[in-house]
Amino acid sequence: MPSVETEASPARQYAAIRYRLLLPELLGSMAWLAFLQGSGISQSVARWWARAVGPSWLMILGYLAVIGTLSYLVFLPLHVYRSLLLERRFGLSRLSLRGWLAREAKRVALSGLLALGLIEGLYALLRHAPGSWPVWATLGWVTVSVMMVRVFPTVVLPLFYRVTPLEDRGLAERLLALCRRVGLSALEVFRFQLGAETRKANAALAGLGRTRRILLSDTLLESFTPDEIEGVLAHELAHQHYHHLTVMLGLSAVGSWIAFAWTDQIGWWWTERLGLDGLADIAGWPMLALWFSLLGLIGLPIQNGLSRWCEWQADRFALRTTAPQAFAAALRRLGELNLADPTPPRWIEWLFYDHPSMTRRIDAAQRLAAS
């Protein structure tokens, strides 16, 4: 049976702190966007860059550099506490300050480039296709999402972790045979060095087509038995077996189109009141980002509800294709290593969790194993 977590357990303490941070993070980011827009800071930065440079794309680049840097600095103390100090306090992070800074520089550079490309693309559509931009923006968002899935294992992951072919050929062949047994192909099994940063364990079947490969963290390989690893991988295989990625991309496409279409219909209301030159005016970016954040929050329960349904389906697949007791043991071990809250408040799980709670997953696995 799964162990009963007390209120004083590290997992509960860690979860309680993270839950208390949710409201300041959520309301703080929205309040900051409202402040940037309402105070006139956004308009002043945009007008200065409009006078300093000619091309629209260059003006947007300068604007985003200033606003992005300001935003990063405002939330840096909370980010340091959440991603470094809190993780080290509970023994999850093994990074030194120097290591964290190096990793953070990569994260900021990568996320900044991606955000720049997306925002530049959005405003180019607003300028050049004012009547049809919602359709093109939706197509662009889905295209970028698919591209990120393809390049993640070959481009993004090696930027943060050392990735090498798995040396244990017996285990590698066993996992590749599991892929073939369920009708999926994988290029190879790779080990990525997660243990230098954290004790958390992870596995994935990442990529599409020629980039699809099995990824296992060194922490998983060191702490789990071959039967447990096979169960964890079977869960990941289920997501591709049942085309969960396509389902989630479809939901994202529909949600994005609704968000863009609503923005196109009512955006005039706030652009007039803020004295902006329409939606294509970069000075209105904080208001546009705030609007998208509110829509995303409204759609979050639907997205996470569908994701939890996919996770249940993947769990059942793993239980049918591998040893049920080993999969249940793997879930328990993952929860212990990652300090997952075994029984989160139902409203927290409903709104913010894209996986069912670990206790419910383990209980379901044990019931099926017993039957």
DSSP string, 321-355: HS-HHHHHHHHHHHHHHHT--SS--HHHHHHH-SS
Name residue 18's amino acid: R
Contact 134, 257 (CB under 8 A): yes
DSSP per-residue string spanning 84-105: IIHHHHTT-B---HHHHHHHHH
Coil, helix or strand at residue 166: coil
Dist. CA 231–CA 184, nearest whole Å:
16
Query: For residue range 243-269, what is the model confidence (pLDDT) as tens digits?
Result: 999 999 999 999 999 999 999 999 999
Whole-number mean pLDDT of the chain? 92
Amino acid making up residue 38 = G
Q: How much is the average pLDDT of 68-86?
A: 96
**Distance, CA of 348 to CA of 328 (rounded, Å):** 24
Percent pLDDT > 70 in the chain is 98
- DSSP tally for the chain: helices H, then strands E: 15, 4
> By the 8 A CB rule, do 279 and 267 touch?
yes
pLDDT tens, position by position, 206-248? 887 777 889 999 999 999 999 999 999 999 999 999 999 999 9
Mean pLDDT computed over 130-152:
93
More confident residue, 212 or 338: 338
pLDDT at 6 over 80: no
Q: Confidence band (pLDDT; 50, 70, 90) for 7?
A: low
The pLDDT tens digits of the residues spanning 268-277 come to 999 999 999 9
Quick one: pLDDT at residue 70?
Answer: 97
Q: Report CA dihedral (184, 192, 223, 3) to the nearest 10 degrees.
A: -80
Predicted confidence band at 187 (pLDDT cuts at 50, 70, 90)?
confident
What does the pLDDT look like over 97-128, one tens digit per residue?
Answer: 999 999 999 999 999 999 999 999 999 999 99
**Mean pLDDT on 47-66:** 94
Q: How far is the CA of 126 from the CAs of 33, 57, 67, in angstroms?
A: 21, 12, 20
31 or 159: which leads in pLDDT = 31
CA distances from 71 to 21, 28, 42, 106, 358 (A): 18, 11, 12, 18, 35
pLDDT greater than 60 at residue 3: no
Residue 5 has pLDDT above 80, yes or no: no
Whether 4 has a pLDDT exceeding 60, the answer reads no
How confident is the model at residue 1, as a pLDDT? 41
Question: Which residue, among 154, 183, 311, 320, has the nearest Cα to 247 in the 3D structure?
Answer: 311
